[in-house]
Chains A and B, each alone.
Chain A
């Protein structure tokens, strides 16, 4: 068994991808054997729960089956890792949203409303994609810690206490960083021309 497993481990990514393209279900078997640990680690890093991580990893194989073809990844590990990241972060957001409830999300949305440059902002007319890109540029202009805190709060919907614990801060420091990040983001969006000022 060990020898067989070892042989399969030696199967290169190109062969596995070919199996995907051949719609051979062994592709999933080989992929799982080769990248299960890796994807689990990624998912668990985000989700923090074994059960959720395992579930997420299964979703990764399915997502790979659904997207290869038409996609032909240059590097399978990176491709699977990206899927694992996307799925796990989305899953965590969903889990937290469910856990916190709509009131909590409303609070976050209210906070994010501070980022609005003005009430009659033409950003409302923007495509979501443009807004996302502007926000991404804004986030990249923040310090790494502030960016992480911001994402933890408004993407992952983590509580202030959870963020404070993870970043070894007190809650006031977290709130302060969030407020500063919102102000900065607002200025950046304004600068980006997403306002009629």
Chain B
């Protein structure tokens, strides 16, 4: 049978198939999609999606906010339904937002927040003050909570955030809540000598004590209840301390609560005729922090200068970063809130107040600053000394005796910022073995690419790798040095690897570099008598590779 005959047979065989199949095939009509229906349907879908987005964004849109402060502050941002959209703890950069507040209505969130603060000691035997920062919109929402807090015997500071721009700016600068910032601004306006720099580190309770002591009538601020002062020594005791130090009985004693920018202090002025003395005494410790003697007429001015110093010290000292406290299992709500701490203490230098000592200014860490590993933190191993490096600028050229050990970062080694431009070879010495640390902080850094042929164990006994990223020219290459110790000589081999910046690796060494450079050996440099610098070429490179293999 030919195919054609077969086709004919099938053609006729079709006549015998189930009429239902035949009817079904004929009766079927594909649903006609009218041309305009597709865009219409797409438009409907787009509208629906847009509506959902709008509804969601409207639900999450921040309409107002309020803040709650004890030792630390929390900002609760509310949507139009007065539900918490976002909650942020401002005490510490380590503290993440207390996310459990999200979705709660403002009143519930505030009550729970206060409960947690109370549990954590924010409101304890020595502190009972809660600071509420409110806006016009959030005032009504939070008023019941404020009233309730008063009923429970707390001292409540109610600060209206009227100048929101200024408050937010200060809040951002000081890592405090806008409510606290508004309070500080208002207090500063109320009394000239009260500066926010002296207050922003204080707890709400301390601020309340200070405001009460100074009888401050700050605009937009109401204080209800009495702040606890059980943590402070009585003024009489402070006077006795001052008198004891002064040695005689002055005619007049003025004692006043103040702040040194970190904690509450008392300033005691003793007047005896034309002469007098001023004391700054820790309000809790009773320790004399500063003592000034002089003419009565100048005591005030001198004390003001001291306060200026306090203010400057507080202004420039780093914000104390409070490590988060791991919440107890039972404290599930707000478990991410940091535990309140005592008022932060200033650096030791700042505490030691004497006319001749300038407080040590520690640069404030910024968010963008790359974390670096301090050489002294990880390895106590000896380092090449700065003196050595600066003493031997031409040490590449021959054998160099080693002297001493030291540690430091690249600035330490090379105070001249133009070093790399003037002497690229010198820059090699700021080379580092911090590739791992750098890589840990830079996900895009392809460590394997740079470090593959130097196994970790390689560093342990035999060698170090010195590397430097050149920050000048076109940021296109990395200097590597291979080093090993042989018969008490440290051999340095200039590998000078050319690492082209490629699309895969575009910005590894984008200036400014934030790597801490370190020159380190895991063995005592005192064993080493000389350093021999070798600029390998040709066969020497081969030799280097062989040596590398042998060590590997």
Contact = CB atoms under 8 A, between A and B. Distances in A.
A85 B19 contact: yes
Nearest to B28: A148
A135 B22 CA distance: 13
Contact of B25 (A86, A113, A155): A155
Interface stretch (B7-15, B69-77, B191-199, B276-284): B7-15
B22 A132 contact: no
B26 A112 contact: no
A135 B10 contact: yes
B23 A46 contact: yes
Contact of B9 (A124, A148, A152): A124
B3 A166 contact: no
A166 B22 contact: no
B2, B10, B16, B33 interface centre (most CB from chain A within 10 Å): B10
B173 interface: no
B539 interface: no
Contact of B14 (A85, A113, A135): A135
Interface size band for B: 20 to 34
Contacts of A121: 1, 6
Contact of B33 (A131, A151, A166, A168): A168
B5 interface: yes
A124 B6 contact: yes
A156 B26 CA distance: 8
Interface string A97-134: 00000000100111111111001110110001101100
Contact of A86 (B6, B11, B19, B29): B19
A110 B4 contact: yes
A132 B2 contact: no
Given A82-B19, A115-B10, A128-B12, A92 B2 contact: no
Nearest to A113: B7
A188 interface: no
B18 A136 contact: yes
Contacts of B457: none
Interface in B80-103: none
A77 interface: no
Contact of A128 (B7, B16, B22, B30): B16
Given A136-B17, A168-B33, A115 B25 contact: no
Please classify how large the interface on chain A is, using the bins under 10, 10 to 19, 20 to 34, 35 or more.
35 or more
A53 interface: no
A169 B27 CA distance: 17
Contacts of B17: 132, 135-136, 139, 155
B504 interface: no
A89 B7 contact: no
B1 A123 contact: yes
B23 A131 contact: no
A167 B30 contact: yes
B7 A115 contact: yes
Interface string B16-46: 1111111111111111110000000000000
Interface of B: 1-33
Given A85-B20, A110-B4, 18 more contacts: A46-B27, A85-B23, A92-B26, A112-B11, A116-B6, A119-B3, A121-B1, A132-B17, A139-B21, A148-B24, A150-B25, A152-B26, A155-B22, A156-B22, A166-B29, A168-B30, A168-B31, A169-B30
23 contacts: A46-B23, A46-B26, A86-B19, A89-B23, A109-B8, A112-B7, A112-B10, A115-B6, A115-B7, A116-B7, A116-B10, A119-B1, A123-B9, A131-B13, A132-B16, A148-B24, A148-B25, A154-B11, A155-B14, A156-B26, A166-B28, A167-B30, A169-B30
Interface of A: 42, 45-46, 82, 85-86, 88-90, 92-93, 105, 108-116, 119-121, 123-124, 128-129, 131-132, 135-136, 139-140, 147-152, 154-156, 166-169
